[in-house]
Structure 1
Amino acid sequence: MPRANLTSAAVITAAADLADRSGFDELALSALARHLGVQTASLYSHVRDRSALLEGVHQLALAELADAIAVAIGGRSGRDALTAFAGTHRDYARRCPGRWTALQRPATAATVASEPAGRVAALTLAMLRGYELPEAELVHATRLLGATVNGFLALEANGAFAHREPATEVSWQRALEALDTVFRSWPTEGKS
């Protein structure tokens, strides 16, 4: 990428691409500068420091995931929406491993308050509202959903399921069926 085309957005995107190839934890300004063919110092006019770079990758990943979720769940509800929602996460984790790792790191206050984070949260709640869960229970359902999907994907990525039959895909479908059953039978009264 020629220096003239460097913008903050281009630097963050290049960093995300590099994280996907080399690993999120290996992302450094010096490596990014080499990747872009510029001096490290020239990156500082686009990102404050490594922390800001990592935060930018996190927010980019949230924005990309939100876009993909919106397309996947549009016009769907219940189990169809749940399957599309979870499948989008799984596909993103596989296609973009560095970006996915960024999503697994603690978010800064700025990232939590960002528009992309708000979109992912709103889409998650919209999908869960298709189950007619009480509003007061949505946070609990969201946590269960996140723990199940992220836990499964982490174990799958680490090869924890690779040594036993049946195929991992069967377990993935069972997990989604179980979540669907739980969300359809969620307690509606007397819980806080």
Structure 2
Amino acid sequence: MKIILVGASGDVGQAAYNALSERHEIIRAGRRTGDVHVDIGDRLSIAAMYDTVGAFDALVSAAGNVHFAPLGDQTETTFKLGLDSKVMGQINLVLEGLTRIADKGSFTLTSGVLDRDPVVAGTGAATANGALAGFVAGAAIELPRNLRINVVSPGLLKASEERYGSFFPGHERVSSNRVGRAFVKCVEGAITGQVVIVE
């Protein structure tokens, strides 16, 4: 399969790449790095990425930003960062890709643990994650041409512990190998409309 991997340079993206690249052609996409460049906050940039890549069989997204801050310090603007980037950025990857992806293709998005196991200052991330779960459930029953859609929801990766571990006190760390296998399950398997939890 020819797979577009958005956010390939991040820890989750690298886990997906390592798990999928042995059997598939991976086109790595990122804002500043990769085989093609894309800003998922800009729908025209997304369309240009698809135009550059051409025909493809699957889209994997491990991209999107959220703002971490105590609830009292959050504002409409800080919440909208996650809604515009992590939520709408990934949704727009799907919307722009619907007519371009091959029959029986798949979209796999990425959320995270915080909507089901919250931490202090993580409300923005929890909100974005919950929205993605709802989008995938709703979209799955309407996708044409036997297309599939899922979202991988990993806990904090061991590879990310040094940078983000202080935000996740007491949380179990998950291996990159297990996260990678979740993406394999979504891309190579038959499930759709699912939140694939890795914890």
TM-score (norm 2): 0.31
User: Which has more radius of gyration?
Assistant: 1
TM-score (norm 1): 0.31
Higher helix share: 1
